[in-house]
Amino acid sequence: MLPEGWKETTLEKYIHVKHGYAFKGEYFSNSGKYIVLTPGNFFETGGFKEQKDKIKYYSGEIPKEYILKKGDCILAMTEQGAGLLGSAAFIPNDDKFLHNQRIGLIEITDPNSVSSDFLYWLYNDPKNRLIISNEAGGTKVKHTSPKKLVDISILLPPLSEQKKIAAILSTWDRAIEETEKLLANSQQQKKALMQQLLTGKKRLPGFTGEWKTKYLGDIADIQTGSSNRQDSLTNGEYTFFDRSEDIRTSNRYLFDCEAVIVPGEGQDFVPKYFVGKFDLHQRTYAISCFQACDGKFIFYTVGYHRSHFLSQAVGSTVKSLRLPMFQKMPLKLPPLSEQRAIAAVLTTADEKLAALESDLSRLRQEKKALMQQLLTGKRRVTVD
C-alpha cells in the first residue's frame, strides 16, 4: 500500500539524463582553468570528490553547454570502483568543471513534480544503486546508460515532502562531514605528537633525562607462535593473532602477558597492543617480557619506526620478517617514567580517535536507516 500522496512511477516522466562530451586526450594538461570530470570525482556512497593528484585540465575548445554550473546533479555511468555505478553528486563550483563522457547530467523536465535534492538521495539509495548495477552492461567494468538510469521504478512523494526529506538527510550528511573533519584533524594531531614525543624533539614538562639507544632484542623477548590459521574459530574464548586485520579467536592460548604483536608477513607490519591471554600464529611475532621499558611505549615507538621492518623485509610477492630483524631494531628510549608519560599522552589521543570513529559509525548507520525509512514513506515528515 502506497503512502498517502505518493505514487509509484519511473523517472523518465520527469527527467532526462544527458551524455557528456568526448574531450580529446591530446588537449589534457597539468594546469589550466577547466577540469575534466571523471568517475573518480564521485564517492561510492554519493557526493562530489575533489581529485588532488589526478586532475585533468583541458586546453582545447569547449562547447559552452558542457561547462557545468554549481548545483548541477551528475551521475556516474561507468563503475571505476566497486559500487560506484549510479552515484550522484552536486557540482560545487560555477565555471570550473567540464561534463565529460560517461558522466550523466540530470535535466529536470517537470520541475513542479521532482526536486534535484530528492533525486540525489534516490540515486544514492543502496536499493536503487543495486538495481542500476544489476541492469548494467560490461564484464570487468560495468557501464550504464541514460535510458537505464531513468527507467528505474521509484516511489515519489509530493514535491514539498521531497524537499523536506532531502533537507533532513542533508543534515545527517553535514554531521558526518564535520565528524570526518574532526577525525582527520585528530589523526594529524596524533601524528604530530608521535613525531615530537617519540624522537625527543619535544619533551614533556618535568623530564630532562638522557635518551639511550638500545636494540629491541636487549630489552624484550621476541618469539613467534605455533598455531595455524585452521586453529582459529568463529566464537573462541581467546583472541587469535595472525597477519589479518580481522579479529579472530581460538579456544586455546599460548601467551598470558602484556605484548606487542607484529605480523611476520604482509605489506605494512602494523603492530597491535594486547594484555591478557591470546593465541598466536606461527608467522606472527609477540614482543613481551619488557625489561626496564614500558610495553605501551614500545608499542608506539615500534609502530612509529615501522620503516625498519619495511626496509628489512624479504620476499618479492609477500614480504616477510625474520627474528634478527626484530632483535637488531634500534630504539631511542627515554627514562622509564618519561616512557610512561609519553604512552599516556598517546593513549589519550587514541581514545579520542576511537570515540570519533564510534560517532562516525553511529551517524552513518543512522543515515542509512533514515534513508530506508524516508525514501519508502515508512516514516513520514511534517511539511511546513
H helical segments located in 279-327: 295-304, 307-312, 323-327
244 pLDDT band (50/70/90 cuts)?
A: confident
Phi, psi of 152 (to 5 degrees): -70, 145
* CA gap 305, 330 in Å, rounded: 9
- Return the DSSP state at 311: H
pLDDT at 378 over 90: yes
What is the C-alpha end-to-end distance of the chain, expressed in Å?
25
pLDDT (average), residues 82-111: 95
Return the pLDDT at 218: 96
Give pTM, 2 decimals. 0.87
Percentage of residues in the chain with pLDDT exceeding 90? 84
7-156: CATH homologous superfamily?
A: DNA methylase specificity domains (3.90.220.20)
pLDDT tens string 177-236: 999 999 999 999 999 999 999 999 999 999 998 999 999 999 999 999 999 888 888 889
pLDDT tens string 296-321: 999 999 999 999 998 989 988 889 99
Residue with cell 619488557: 290
pLDDT tens string 97-114: 999 999 999 999 999 999
* CA gap 231, 284 in Å, rounded: 14
- Return the DSSP state at 293: S
pLDDT tens string 277-294: 999 999 999 999 999 999
310 neighbors 199 (Cβ within 8 angstroms): no
328 neighbors 205 (Cβ within 8 angstroms): no
Convert 354-380 to b/e letters by CB count within 10 Å (16 or more is b): eebeeebeebeeebeebbeebbebeeb
Return the pLDDT at 383: 86
Instruction: Write the DSSP assignment of 185-245 as a string of letters.
Output: HHHHHHHHHHHHHTTTSSPPTT--PPPEEEEHHHHSEEEE--B-GGG-BSS-SEEEE-S-S
Phi, psi of 39 (to 5 degrees): -55, -20
Domain with CATH 3.90.220.20 in the chain: 7-156, 212-333
pLDDT at 155 over 90: yes
Return the pLDDT at 81: 72
Specify the higher pLDDT residue, 51 or 276. 276
* Nearest Cα to Cα of residue 332 among 245, 252, 248, 214: 214
212-333: CATH homologous superfamily?
A: DNA methylase specificity domains (3.90.220.20)
Return the pLDDT at 232: 87
Phi, psi of 351 (to 5 degrees): -65, -40
C-alpha cell at 69: 554550473
pLDDT (average), residues 30-59: 92
Name the β-bridge partners of 74.
89, 105
C-alpha cell at 246: 580481522
* CA gap 44, 341 in Å, rounded: 42
pLDDT (average), residues 238-254: 91
SS3 label, residue 250? strand
SS3 label, residue 174? helix
342 neighbors 334 (Cβ within 8 angstroms): yes
Q: What is the mean pLDDT of the chain?
A: 94
